[in-house]
Each structure stands twice: as C-alpha cells, then as structure tokens.
Amino acid sequence: MPRNVIIAIGVIFFGIIAFDMMGIIVRLLGDTYPILQIAAMRNFFGMIPALILLAHARQFAALPRLNQPRLHAINLLRSTSVVVAQLSFYTALTKIEFATAGALGFSGPIFITALSVPLLGHVVGVWRWSAIFIGFAGVLTIMQPFNDGFSAYMVLPVIAAFCYALSSILVRLYPQDMPSAAIQLSQQIMTCVLATLAMLVFFDPVAITGASDAGLIVMMGAFGGTGVMCLVIAYRLADPSSVSPFEYFGIPVSFALGWLFFSEAPFDDLFPGILFIVGAGMIIMARERREQRRAAAQDQM
C-alpha cells in the first residue's frame, strides 16, 4: 500500500475519533444549553483548526477570491444546510442512543449519490441506484417506523445526513484551485452567524458559568473543526475511493463510545440494518472507483 494512502487512512481514523468525541460533548451539554447555542459555539471554536491550516499553508491570500456573488450564494446554501444538519443531529444525540444516531448518519453517501444526478448532472447506473434502495432499506430496518418502539427523533440523523450530503455536493461547485481551508473557514463563519441569529430569535441564550462547561465548549469546537480538517487532508493525500471505505470505522467507534460513556449497547436495533447501509456505501464507492478508472483509461487513449 502506498505511503500516502497509509497516512491518509491514519488521518481519517483520527478525524472520525474527533467527530465522535465532539458528539459526546454535544450530548453532555445538551441538557443545559439550547441546541442552536451549542451549534453556534461549535462553529465559532471550529474556526480555529481552519485558521491554523490556512496559516500553515500561507493561503490567506485566497480568501478575497471568495468575494464573488456566485460563491456567496453557494456558501449561504451550504451554511444553511449545515446549520439544519447540526440542529437535527445534535438534537438526535440527546434523544436516542449514541450509536444509533451515528449509524443512521452514515446514510450520507446514499444521499450524495442520489443528489449528484439533479445537481451535478451525473449519470447513475443500475448498480448505484440499487445501492441507494438497499441503503434506504437499511435505514428503515434500523428506524422500524411501524414498530411500537419507533421514535420520531430517529428521523433527525437521516435529515442531517441529507443536509450534509447537500453541503458536500455544493462544495464541488467551487473552483478546483480554491484552497479547502479557505472554503471551510468561510462556511464556518457563515454557519456561526446563522446559528447565532436563529438562537437569538428562538431561544434565550444560557450563560456559561462554570469553567468545566467552558472547557467542554472549546474542546467541542476544536474536535469538530479538527475532524473536518482531517477529512479534507485525507482526501487530498490519497484518492477518495481508497480512503472513503475507512470512514465506516466510525460505526464501531461510536458503538464503543456509547457503551463506555452512556452504558448503551443497541446491538439488536442496529443489525441487520447497518449491514445494508455499509454494503450500499461500499457498492457506491466500488462503482465510482470503476468509473474513475474507465475515465482515466479513456483520457490516455
């Protein structure tokens, strides 16, 4: 295995753990602070890793290039979708099992594939459409919407996955040479502003009184921002089709952390649905990798 792929896999593992640690802190803070306030604070302190990466790469000069009406519109759409995703996912973390919320969130690749057709004009063949239906079957198997134990809160991680997928699709509309850290910083600023405005309209902010809460809030933002930057770095170090399957490492990690921190073990609720979701994601990745190889071969002719 090439060295760059090994490094990328290590980086993505670290990013996944950072995301899960952020989720744990969100759940711990969720009983005290409004979810929109948590989202605003997460985005504010989440700017730190993006600023560090921009400074390290000496790419601050790229920021003025984002000052274009078209890019402002894309950033507003992305940021709005991220705020809705955060509101949905963070609420779910406080209402359902930690691992269940995480597992349903992994339906993102299914939505990305489906959204790429109307938004990017991609052609999706029978294999990937089949994977989409298999993935949704897995989501329904976990949610069990017609079961007496169904909770409406289980829909929220799926909404979050859809919104994060929309954000991932929209980022592809930026110029290819635009630094990822600059795009991420502009999105973090906008999401922080939107979440703060929504919080002021719908909730009364809760004062942060204890040093422990303040520390958790800073850590939450740092973990979230670090997770995003790890994904950006990993996908730039190696081909996405070589790295993306390792994102599913997050499923056993979220299960283990849910058991460790909250004494939750929803094993029976997650299987076999989670296998459908993972299987669908792997099919989509395999077909995309095949398409990339075919396109590369045609370019060489």
Full DSSP string of 241-292:
HHHGGGGGGHHHHHHHHHHHHH----HHHHTTHHHHHHHHHHHHHHHHHHHH
* Residue 250, domain extent: 3-300
* pLDDT of 295: 65
Report whether pLDDT(216) > 70.
yes
Pick the range with the lowest mean pLDDT from 87-101, 164-178, 241-255: 241-255
| Under 8 Å between Cβ of 29 and 217 | yes
Inform me whether the pLDDT recorded for 296 exceeds 70: no
% residues pLDDT > 70 (the chain): 96
Look-up of token digits 């359902």: 96
103-137: per-residue pLDDT in tens?
A: 999 888 888 888 888 887 877 888 888 988 998 89
Instruction: Give the model's pLDDT for residue 154.
Output: 93
Give how many domains the chain has, as a whole number.
1
Residues 219-228, mean pLDDT to the nearest whole number: 90
Q: Which of 253, 228, 225 is nearest to 24 (CA)?
A: 253
pLDDT in tens, 148-160: 778 899 999 999 9
Helices (H), the chain: 3-29, 35-57, 69-95, 98-105, 108-120, 126-143, 155-170, 180-202, 211-237, 240-243, 250-262, 267-270, 273-300
- Which of 9-13, 30-34, 86-90 is modeled with the greatest confidence? 86-90
Residue 217 has a pLDDT of: 95
Mean pLDDT of 89-97: 95
> What mean pLDDT value characterizes the chain?
87
Is 51 exposed, middle or buried (CB count within 10 Å of its CB: 0-12, 13-18, 19+)?
Answer: middle
State the pLDDT at residue 297.
64
Res 24: pLDDT: 96
* Residue, of 152 and 228, whose pLDDT is higher: 152
172 Cα distance to chain centroid: 15
Helix (H) or strand (E) holding 51: helix 35-57
- Residue 252, preceding peptide bond in cis (omega within 30° of 0): no
- Of residues 240 and 220, the one with the higher pLDDT is 220
Instruction: Give the residue-averaged pLDDT of 140-169.
Output: 89
